[in-house]
Amino acid sequence: MPVIREDTAGERSQINKATGGESAGRIALPSLAGALANAASGNHRPAISSGTGCGMDDPIVRSHALSLYYGQSQALTDVTMDFPRHQVTALIGPSGCGKSTFLRCLNRMNDLIDGVRTTGSIQFDGRNVTDPTLDVIELRRMVGMVFQKPTPFPKSIYENIAYGLRIAGIRKKAVLDEVVENSLRRAALWEEAKDRLRESALGLSGGQHQRLCIARAIAVQPEIILMDEPCSALDPRSTTRIEDLIGELRGEYTIIIVTHNMQQAARVSDWTAFL
């Protein structure tokens, strides 16, 4: 994998620089070194694994020997890694190595795909995510997801945010109003949206759509927010806003972000894992 190795090696200095210059930037450099070795050897097993002594005292998610098959085709092989609580972990790796697939395992989105089979385990705060008796709706409330392409519902801005609460049976207008405002504020969209809450969300820009989707995820008070290349469809300015937002949400939520951009991984994450 010479290309990956060259690219990764070329960006290492950037990561070192970011780590030294930003107090929040704590990149798992030993893991990155492991990643380089893995990339060079063609071994795409994750570089962070439990028990590596990287200071993760309180992991919120533990994946152990997780393998996933789409029918006969194996997409994940023995993924073992821990994710620290209330920190940002970036998942990087070559296209097709299974980053999105892994992310979808964390809230059982792969259940929606026919012929998917997994072995191994994922623990979320001690609960076995792969347990067939688990309440998947509740799991997805606690493990929210933001996709590569923003997915606003064809409803008003207000209803996009209130949707999850209404599903949960919350009807009181005062409660809904408060959650909508707080969520939009947390997602840095309130000032732009407060005078058009009843207008269609489809009228917002692409960058605003993505912040709306983050607000929608926040509204149901998740523990974890999964982000699958959330900036890849955005212009540089919108990308910066989302990256800033991730920085603001750090500490309150556990964020796991898939990105193909090494610089972005260095900018936004506390830990970097290589698949």
Distance CA 48, CA 51 (A): 9
Contact range with ligand ADP by CB under 6 A, out of 40-48, 68-76, 153-161, 239-247? 68-76
If one asks whether residue 101 binds ligand ADP (CB under 6 A), the answer comes out as: yes
Q: Identify the burial level of 198 via C-beta atoms within 10 angstroms of its C-beta, where 0-12 means exposed, 13-18 middle and 19 or more buried.
A: exposed
Q: Which stretch binds ligand ADP (CB under 6 A): 88-96, 131-139, 191-199, 204-212?
A: 88-96
Using CA atoms, how far apart are residues 97 and 39, in angstroms rounded to an integer? 11
Give bridge partners of residue 116 from the DSSP assignment: 70
User: From the CB of 148, what's the least distance to ligand ADP, in Å?
Assistant: 9
By CB under 6 A, residue 113 contacts ligand ADP: yes
The pair of three-digit structure tokens given for residue 231, joined into one six-digit string:
């900036």
Out of 13, 23, 72, 95, name the contact with ligand ADP by CB under 6 A: 95
Determine if 87 is a binding residue for ligand ADP (CB under 6 A): no
Q: Is 75 in the site for ligand ADP (CB under 6 A)?
A: yes
If one asks whether residue 97 binds ligand ADP (CB under 6 A), the answer comes out as yes
Region from 93-101, 126-134, 200-208, 218-226 binding ligand ADP, contact rule CB under 6 A? 93-101
CA–CA separation, 146 and 211 (whole Å): 9
The alpha-carbon radius of gyration of the chain (Å, integer) is 19
Cα torsion 82, 272, 247, 95: sign: negative
Residues from 205 through 264 that contact ligand ADP (CB under 6 A): none
Q: Where are the beta strands (DSSP E) in 71-109?
A: 73-84, 88-92
Stretch that binds ligand ADP, among 34-42, 57-65, 70-78, 131-139 (CB under 6 A): 70-78
Closer to ligand ADP by CB, 23 or 73: give it: 73
Helical axes 157-167 vs 206-219, angle rounded to 10°: 20
User: Where do contacts with ligand ADP occur on this chain (CB under 6 A)?
Assistant: 70, 73, 75, 93, 95-101, 113
